[in-house]
Structures are given as C-alpha cells and as structure tokens.
Structure 1
Amino acid sequence: MWIDDWAAAAACQQSQPDQLFVRGAEQHKAKTVCAGCPVRTECLAEALDNEIEWGVWGGMTERERRALLKRRPNVTSWRQLLETAKGEHEQRYAVNG
C-alpha cells in the first residue's frame, strides 16, 4: 500500500535532520536510518521525481540517485514505477508468505 502522507511515518522523524545531510563516509551511517523505514520507497520516489540533490533519501545518497537517474532517463514518474513495484512485491509476499 502506498502512503501519500509518507513524511509523518518516516523513521527519520526520530532523528536530527542534519544526520541525513552529511558527506562522505557519514552517508553510509545515515543510510542505516532508512534501512527499516516503512516509507522508504515513497521517500525515494519523492527524491527522484523532484531530482533532490542533497542528503540521503529513501536509503540512497545523492550520488546513487544521480546514477540511477542517468541509467533510467526515460522514467517519467518514479512514483508510478516504484508504487507498482511495491504493490507487486507485497502481493507476491502475501501469496507466498
């Protein structure tokens, strides 16, 4: 299920915002905040669709997001793509549980 008001449910709500806007090796530590986040996919879609250049979003650094955008330049809606993939994953998991 896709959550439109995802920011309220984000795991990073419990941390300081500055922890997600770091450089270098500190980014790997920041990504751990996203690891178990229930709205990680929604957050990532937001960052990709809006080409957000700074910080860790959805478990990806700005460098990782730029590389993904370059690899998939024809994606017009990351939300649509990721929402569909998330729904298919959840459906498969529910069936194969």
Structure 2
Amino acid sequence: MSTLLTTFLNPADASATMLPCHDTDAADLFFSERPADLEQAKTLCAGCPLIEECRQGALDRAEPWGVWGGAIFEAGRIIAVKRGRGRPRKNREQEAA
C-alpha cells in the first residue's frame, strides 16, 4: 500500500521533477565565487521550466548575487560574465604564455 506521503518522498520519483537548483550536489555552483562554476550553473538552468519566472523574481527582489534564471546577478542586476578574483595582468603578452 502506498500513501501520498511515501509516494512524494520516494527519491526515484522526486529526482525526475527536481529543479536543477534544488540538486544538493550542484547547489554551491549557483553562489560560487569562481566564474567557471557560475557558467556551469547557467548551463544547468538552460533546461529549467521556470527559468523566466526565476529570473524575473530575482530582478524584482534585487538579488545581491548568484545565478538566477540562467543569469548571473551582482548587486541586484544582471551581468554578462563574472570576473575572477584578483588583479588583471598589466602586460597582455604574459597572458598568452
């Protein structure tokens, strides 16, 4: 006999409908300091059925940081890319080496 509670808590059923941001293994990606992690979180958002609602909600709340609706937020606004920490090189030729 299956009850509503046991059906709802069945991990096999829940994983099929779980949103990418609710995956405990990937949760840290959405608020990482590393640009590569943020790009990976954006990729996870791409197939989410709630992407537009999530992004608009984050804009309405002026979320201070993180990936919301497939976009990177900083200081309540969407930014194209997150720069890594540290000072950029002064000499561009050193970057190629």
* TM-score normalised to structure 1 length: 0.52
Compute the displacement of 1:67 (Å). Answer: 4.8
* Greater relative CO, 1 or 2 (CA 8 Å, sep 6+): 1
Gaps of 5+ in 2: 1-16, 80-97
Do the aligned residues in 2 keep the contact of 1:34 with 1:40 (CA within 8 Å)? yes
Size of the alignment, in residue pairs? 61
Corresponding residue of 1:83: none
TM-aligned CA deviation for residue 9 of structure 1: 6.0
**Alpha-carbon distance in 1 for matches of 2:71, 2:44:** 11
Query: What is the aligned-residue identity percentage?
Result: 40
Q: Which amino acid letter does the alignment assign opposite residue 37 of structure 1?
A: C
The answer to whether the aligner puts 1:46 opposite 2:60 as a matched pair is: no
Do residues 20 (structure 1) and 30 (structure 2) align? yes
Give the AA of the match of 2:32. Answer: V
Whether the 8 Å CA contact 2:64–2:73 is kept in 1: the answer is yes
Structure 1: gaps spanning 5 or more residues: 1-7, 69-97
- Report what 2:20 is aligned to: 11
Q: Between Structure 1 and Structure 2, which shows a larger proportion of strand residues?
A: 2
**Counterpart in the other structure of 1:36:** 47
* Consecutive aligned runs of 4 or more in structure 1 exceeding 4 Å deviation: none
What RMSD over aligned residues (CA atoms) do the two structures have, in Å?
2.6
CA-to-aligned-CA distance 1:44-72 (integer Å, 9 cap, x gap): 01100010011100000014x6257xxxx
Larger Rg: 2
Matched residues in 2 for 1:20 and 1:29: separation? 9
Cα deviation 1:32-53 (Å, max 9, x = unaligned): 1101000011100110001001
